[in-house]
């Protein structure tokens, strides 16, 4: 080797001609599909534009947001309780939690929503009292209490709780046992160890699947249209039923679901950043 060769030879990178070709093909297909939908003579896009911010549609959007957020919050709270019960050393408690999860996950949400929506058919009154005695503090006819919004919220929240319980359980199990042992060795009590040491670290593992759950839930709220839940899909379907603008109204619904899911995704990114602190960068 001569001294002149001391400069290292330049690297010639491989050119991914095939990938470029594939990209071009895909772009052509996408543009073609968009054009064919946009110029479709059977779809009147002006109707879609006209209804995008229609009052009834916005009411539906707002209901969908409320359903998703309230069910999620209730689901998280209940899910924490069920998840921790499932992890508890108290065997009967863990068994009850496991059965709850099995039951809820074993029945399609659509079926569960229909059951809650039609609860008035087999339950006349809801009361709070001492079981097996006539003592009664409060009661109400089921049909007055379980209005579609309540039925939808109960159905979605229970479903959410079962999945959150599993997410919380796997999150807690993902935290190294040394963490709770170190906390115990410092004299911390079990509840405090869970709250201050284990759950915050489980959170990092829990947020991505929780975000996915929320996105699924936002879309899942559309199922409550079967019990006239007043959500986005219910409203757009109602409009379509009278105006016969079925595809146009589905496009309105599609637009709003994409917006809501996009927002949920952005929220997830923010939460993941926040929960990742202290983790190896």
Task: Give the span between the Cα atoms of 195 and 199, in whole angstroms.
Answer: 6
Give strand ranges (E) for 196-280: none
In angstroms, how far is the first alpha carbon of the chain from the final one? 43
Structure tokens at 144: 């007055």
Measured from the CB atom, the residue of 93 and 115 that comes closer to another protein is 93
Task: Give the span between the Cα atoms of 217 and 101, in whole angstroms.
Answer: 17
Cβ atoms of residues 248 and 42 within 8 Å: no
Measured from the CB atom, the residue of 11 and 270 that comes closer to another protein is 270
Token pair 């594939």: residue: 22
Measured from the CB atom, the residue of 19 and 280 that comes closer to another protein is 280
Q: Minimal distance in Å, beta carbon 177 to another protein?
A: 9
Q: Minimal distance in Å, beta carbon 191 to another protein?
A: 9
Per CB under 8 A, residues contacting another protein are 176, 178-179, 181-190, 192, 196-197, 200-201, 204, 277-281
Measured from the CB atom, the residue of 45 and 274 that comes closer to another protein is 274
Q: Minimal distance in Å, beta carbon 247 to another protein?
A: 50
The continuous run of DSSP H or E covering 101 comes out as: helix 91-106
Q: Minimal distance in Å, beta carbon 175 to another protein?
A: 9
Q: Minimal distance in Å, beta carbon 87 to another protein?
A: 15
Task: Give the span between the Cα atoms of 163 and 101, in whole angstroms.
Answer: 8
Measured from the CB atom, the residue of 49 and 273 that comes closer to another protein is 273
């Amino acid at each position: 080797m001569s001294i002149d060769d001391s400069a290292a030879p330049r690297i010639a990178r491989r050119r991914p001609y095939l990938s470029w070709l594939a990209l071009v093909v895909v772009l052509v297909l996408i543009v073609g599909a968009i054009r064919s939908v946009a110029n479709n003579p059977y779809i009147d896009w002006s109707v879609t534009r006209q209804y995008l911010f229609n009052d009834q549609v916005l009411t539906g959007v707002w209901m969908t947001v409320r359903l998703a957020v309230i069910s999620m919050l209730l689901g998280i709270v209940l899910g924490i309780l069920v998840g921790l019960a499932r992890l508890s050393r108290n065997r009967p408690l863990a068994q009850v939690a496991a059965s709850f999860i099995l039951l809820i996950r074993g029945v399609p949400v659509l079926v569960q929503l229909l059951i809650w929506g039609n609860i008035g058919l087999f339950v006349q009154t809801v009361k709070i009292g001492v079981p097996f005695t006539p003592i009664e503090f409060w009661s109400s006819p089921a049909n007055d209490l379980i209005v579609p919004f309540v039925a939808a919220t109960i159905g979605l929240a229970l479903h959410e709780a079962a999945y959150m319980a599993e997410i919380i359980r796997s999150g807690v199990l993902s935290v190294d046992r040394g963490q709770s042992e170190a906390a115990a060795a410092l004299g911390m009590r079990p509840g405090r160890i869970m709250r201050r040491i284990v759950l915050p670290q489980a959170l990092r593992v829990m947020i991505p699947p929780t975000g996915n759950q929320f996105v699924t839930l936002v879309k899942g709220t559309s199922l409550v249209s079967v019990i006239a839940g007043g959500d986005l899909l219910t409203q757009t379907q109602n409009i379509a039923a009278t105006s016969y603008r079925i595809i146009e109204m589905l496009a309105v619904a599609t637009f709003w679901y994409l917006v809501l899911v996009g927002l949920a995704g952005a929220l997830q990114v923010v939460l993941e950043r926040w929960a990742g602190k202290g983790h190896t960068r």
